[in-house]
């Protein structure tokens, strides 16, 4: 019977191929057998692979476990070596600790009474202080207020004292300045110092000299100052000029001339070249004259002091 099947197999196969996938298995028992063999072979392969993997894993695990065990044993050995090498030290330290504990206990038990007494005294003092504070609340409040007021007044007088010190120092400096100027021959009048030269220079040179002395040529802006100039019987340059613009007279600080004291007929700009002002006619109140700036005469400087 089987022989018949095998003999017919090529024909069956051909028939199956010509049927192009016809699922009627009853018509191809040989194909069924092939399939069984193929499936079994495949399963065997899978089982083989699974066996290989599990064998590999088992070997790795064993090796890992072995390593860990070896490491643990090595560490144990090292720890034992360390302990045996430091045993004496550990023993000494433990002994010392126990001795200290014992002495502390003795100390505490020997001073228990003292500690109790001190605690009691402290509590009593606290209690008495509380009684004192509560009994004198108003008094304490008043005293605190007074202390605050005294502090405030103290601060106030301190700052007043500081201000006085500053003022004193400023006055000292001023006094020193005054002293120096008097010694150098300056005259004091109405919050200004005046210097009357003993030599003669042009208007510009005179002005430069005043500046080098920390001053400038005199600016006359009051009747009193004009009268003051008459004390000096000299022809003197003052700080007035119309050099910048003919006919517009300005003081050396840049201000325009307001009240003037020109002598009668002045300023006349004689020869068209008189651009600087002098005190000339000392016998009269209106004593000013315009003069060529390059003429050499005396001059008067003014240094204003703080009023």
The tokens for 285 are 């109140």
Taking the complex as a whole, how short is the minimal distance between the CB of residue 203 and ligand 2F8, in angstroms? 12
Query: What's the CA gap between 226 and 257, in Å, rounded?
Result: 14
Segment lying near Ca ion (by CB under 5 A), choices 45-53, 201-209, 242-250, 271-279: 271-279
Query: What's the CA gap between 135 and 251, in Å, rounded?
Result: 79
Of residues 195 and 203, the one with the C-beta less far from Ca ion: 203
Taking the complex as a whole, how short is the minimal distance between the CB of residue 162 and ligand 2F8, in angstroms? 57
What is the longest distance spanned by two Cα atoms in the chain? 176
Site track 231-270 with Ca ion (rule: CB under 5 A), x = hit: -----------------------------------x-x--
Taking the complex as a whole, how short is the minimal distance between the CB of residue 245 and ligand 2F8, in angstroms? 19
Taking the complex as a whole, how short is the minimal distance between the CB of residue 265 and ligand 2F8, in angstroms? 7
For residue 20, give Cα distances in angstroms to 11, 29, 35, 232, 302.
Answer: 14, 17, 17, 150, 136
What pairs with residue 187 in β-bridges?
Answer: 194
What pairs with residue 196 in β-bridges?
Answer: 300
Does 268 participate in binding ligand 2F8 (rule CB under 6 A)?
yes
Segment lying near ligand 2F8 (by CB under 6 A), choices 80-88, 183-191, 251-259, 283-291: 283-291
Query: What's the CA gap between 53 and 166, in Å, rounded?
Result: 101
31 φ, ψ (degrees, to nearest 5): -60, -40
267 φ, ψ (degrees, to nearest 5): -75, 140
Does 86 participate in binding Ca ion (rule CB under 5 A)?
no
For residue 28, give Cα distances in angstroms to 21, 32, 37, 102, 116.
Answer: 11, 7, 15, 102, 112
Does 266 participate in binding ligand 2F8 (rule CB under 6 A)?
yes
Of residues 215 and 291, the one with the C-beta less far from ligand 2F8: 291
Which of helix, strand or coil describes residue 124? helix
Rg (CA), the chain: 63
Of residues 290 and 302, the one with the C-beta less far from ligand 2F8: 290
Of residues 205 and 221, the one with the C-beta less far from ligand 2F8: 205
Tell how far CA 191 is from the center of its chain.
Answer: 46
Segment lying near ligand 2F8 (by CB under 6 A), choices 1-9, 86-94, 243-251, 263-271: 263-271
Of residues 225 and 266, the one with the C-beta less far from ligand 2F8: 266
Does 192 participate in binding ligand 2F8 (rule CB under 6 A)?
no
Query: What's the CA gap between 215 and 109, in Å, rounded?
Result: 92
Does 270 participate in binding ligand 2F8 (rule CB under 6 A)?
yes
Query: What's the CA gap between 19 and 21, in Å, rounded?
Result: 6
Taking the complex as a whole, how short is the minimal distance between the CB of residue 217 and Ca ion, in angstroms? 18
Residues binding ligand 2F8 (CB under 6 A): 266, 268, 270, 274, 289-291, 295
Residues found near Ca ion in the complex (CB under 5 A): 266, 268, 274, 289-290
């Amino acid at each position: 019977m089987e022989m018949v099947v095998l003999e017919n197999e090529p024909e069956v196969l051909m028939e199956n191929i010509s049927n192009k996938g016809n699922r009627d298995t009853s018509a191809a028992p040989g194909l069924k057998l092939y399939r069984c063999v193929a499936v079994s072979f495949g399963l065997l392969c899978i089982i083989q692979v699974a066996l290989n993997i599990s064998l590999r894993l088992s070997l790795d695990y064993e090796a890992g476990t072995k390593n860990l065990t070896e490491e643990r044993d090595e560490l144990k050995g090292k720890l034992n070596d360390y302990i045996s090498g430091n045993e004496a030290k550990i023993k000494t330290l433990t002994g010392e600790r126990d001795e200290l504990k014992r002495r502390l206990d003795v100390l505490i038990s020997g001073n228990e009474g003292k500690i109790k007494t001190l605690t009691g005294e402290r509590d009593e003092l606290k209690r008495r202080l509380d009684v004192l504070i509560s009994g004198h609340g108003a008094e304490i409040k008043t005293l605190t207020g007074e202390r605050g007021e005294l502090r405030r007044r103290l601060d106030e007088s301190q700052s007043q004292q500081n201000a006085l010190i500053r003022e004193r120092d400023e006055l000292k400096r001023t006094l020193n300045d005054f002293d120096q100027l008097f010694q150098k021959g300056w005259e004091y009048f109405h919050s200004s110092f005046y210097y009357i030269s003993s030599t003669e220079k042009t208007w510009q040179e005179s002005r430069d000299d005043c500046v080098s002395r920390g001053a400038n040529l005199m600016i006359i802006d009051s009747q009193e100052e004009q009268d003051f100039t008459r004390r000096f019987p000299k022809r003197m340059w003052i700080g007035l000029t119309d050099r910048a613009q003919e006919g517009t007279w300005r003081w050396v600080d840049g201000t325009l001339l307001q009240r003037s004291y020109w002598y009668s007929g002045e300023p006349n700009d004689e020869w068209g070249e008189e651009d600087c002002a002098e005190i000339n006619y000392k016998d009269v109140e209106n004593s000013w004259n315009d003069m060529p700036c390059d003429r050499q005469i005396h001059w008067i400087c003014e240094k204003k002091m703080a009023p």
